[in-house]
Amino acid sequence: MTSRADLSSVAKVEADSTFLSFSQYTTIEQAQSWYQGLIKAISTFKTMPRRCAIARENDFYASQRTMGDVDNPNG
């Protein structure tokens, strides 16, 4: 069974920002390798969505989303 693994716009911006910061302190090849590893790790959630436990703070963020999420206005 395949699930969806969506990233919020905030997560995408943070990943890109981290890549840019990382590339300033290492080689561009190392930064690209890190970024590709991140994308690969995220994509594993498509086939193994329960491989990581739900974070304790999930309930807090779930209550925040009910007030209106930028990426999911319905939810």
Cα end-to-end distance, the chain, whole Å: 25
Residue 43 half-sphere exposure, CB side, CA atoms within 13 Å?
Answer: 6
Q: What is the pLDDT of residue 7?
A: 76
What SS3 string covers the chain?
A: CCCCCCCCHHHHHHHHHHHHHHHHHCCHHHHHHHHHHHHHHHHHHHCCCCCCCCCCCHHHHHHHHCCCCCCCCCC
- The whole-model pTM stands at 0.60
Domain boundaries, the chain: 9-65
Taking 60 as the threshold, does the pLDDT of residue 29 lie above it? yes
Q: How far apart are CA 18 and CA 63, in angstroms?
A: 27
pLDDT score, position 45 = 78
Q: Would the pLDDT of 42 be above 70?
A: yes
Percent over 90 (pLDDT), the chain: 35
- 3-20 residue pLDDT tens: 777 778 888 899 999 999
